[in-house]
Amino acid sequence: MTPRTRTLRWVSALGLALVTGCAHFVSRPLSPAESIATFNTRSLTNPGLQTFLADNRVPEPAAGWDLKALTLAALYYQPSLAEARDRLRAAEAARVTAGERPNPSVAMALGYDTRIAAAPSPWIVPINVDWPIETAGRRGARLAHARYLSAAARWELIGSVWQVRSRLRSALLDLYAARRTESLLARRQAAERKVVMLLQGQLEAGAVSSYLLAQARVALDDTTLARQAAAGAIRQAQIRLAGALGVAPHALNGVKLSFEELRKFPRDLTGPQIRRRALINRADVRAALEQYAASQSALQLEVARQWPDVQLGPGFAWNSQLREDSEWQLRLSLPLPILNHNQGPIAEARAERRLAAAHFLSVQADALEQIDSALAGYRSALARMRTATSLLADLRQQIDSVRDQVQAGERQPLDLADAEVAFDKGAQNLLATRIEAQRALGALEDAVQSPLTLAPSTLQAAQNGKPGPQAP
């Protein structure tokens, strides 16, 4: 086999390998109209959502959609989580890029030499191959940098999960508060109507002044306005809940919800070990720590770049007719670090490392403040709730006492109606303290990000699953 034939076969094989190993671009345009139509078809009865719930051992609750099931529904549909997952995929793809070795290159050129003795052809075809060799452990530093950035992206995804869960819990609590408020106001409205009716009768009998009746009617009107506002708050809370889930508001029509989780007030989040664990394992703290580790690797990479890469260049030149007129070459080339030693990029990387360290300390300090503030707020809210509970118990005893006195003829029915109105006001105060305590609990859960609140299996489902409509 002649040198020319061997060379042509080698070049053909190389070209075939390049073509077969290449990826191909596929256009996938986005259509706003189609995405809106798809969004409007989302529902809590979607078969894909039901499969996702079953895969995570959370079937649709028979008593209604509780906070745990709704959280998984939000993980399935919420677009912000899809965006965070895609950022993680991009960071993981960057690890592939970091691990790639530089490709060799081949160069062919035509030469023309008329002075070759007895040569039938003056053409010369030299072939040169440049084979880059990385030095000073650059590939390892690149891989470490990409690995830490990928870990930071994973923690940022976990942080996004907590944000979605926090938004969902807040919206569900708003709906619970609005419904309970409207119910209590309806009961209070009925009690105040009874007071107005009794005062009207006493006014006609000349037993009371019209001023007392006017006061009672004003109180009734105020309660009516408050009830109307609560009905509007219910509709607004339903819209916020749908937004937190990532579905259209009509998707919640006819859906039974369970608020049982919002009636619990756990004490296991107030221990000192929870605070210490949160300062170490919170998603934003861990993400900042991984970013600092990535800055370390980036500095290591820039230090390694002080040393030049080596280029090996074996070559071969042959004349198309003279087999004896062939020439082998071996070229070694490397940049000369004369004008600079990569000082600028090294200084920038050192500054970025200092910045990453300062950012980590700032995030951890903010987390400490948030945890301590949320813990103090939760304890204070629990104390006020206990006081409101005790007050309502006293008002209940007052109603019972007045009722007994009315039956004995010692008090009037109007006194009992007034006591019922006072009890309804006390029930509203207790509800307000309960909602306040639940908001404080939500802030504490967000601050500590404890597995007691959100199971690791739920976080794992958000990271590794393929929930929701996939982007093109």
pLDDT tens-place string over residues 109-147: 666 666 656 555 666 667 777 888 888 888 888 899 999
* Helices and strands: H and E segment counts in the chain: 12, 5
Residue ranges covered by each domain of the chain: 67-114+121-448
Q: Which residue is it, tokens 């894909």? A: 48
The CA R_g of the chain, rounded to the nearest whole Å, is: 37
Q: How far apart are CA 217 and CA 454, in angstroms?
A: 48
**Mean pLDDT of the region 218-247:** 94
Place of tokens 């997952």: 85
Kindly state the tokens that stand for 8: 């042509």
- pLDDT range class, residue 280, cuts 50, 70, 90: confident
16 sits in which H/E element:
helix 3-20
**Are 439 and 418 within 8 A, CB to CB?**
no
pTM over 0.85: no
- Domain 67-114+121-448 in CATH 3.30.70.890? The answer is no
- Report the distance separating Cα 63 and Cα 420, nearest Å: 32
pLDDT band at residue 104, thresholds of 50, 70 and 90?
confident
Q: What pLDDT is stored for residue 472 in this prediction?
A: 42
C-alpha to C-alpha distances, 321 to 123, 318, 324, 325, nearest whole angstrom:
9, 9, 9, 8
Which pair of tokens denotes residue 405?
A: 């006195």
Per residue in 44-82, pLDDT tens?
Answer: 888 888 888 888 877 766 778 999 889 989 989 988 888
Residue-wise burial string across 389-424, b where 16 or more C-beta atoms lie within 10 A, e elsewhere: eeebeebeeeeeebbeebeeeebeebebbbbbbebb
The residue among 362, 194, 175, 379 whose CA lies nearest residue 259 is: 175
| Average of per-residue pLDDT across 17-30 | 70
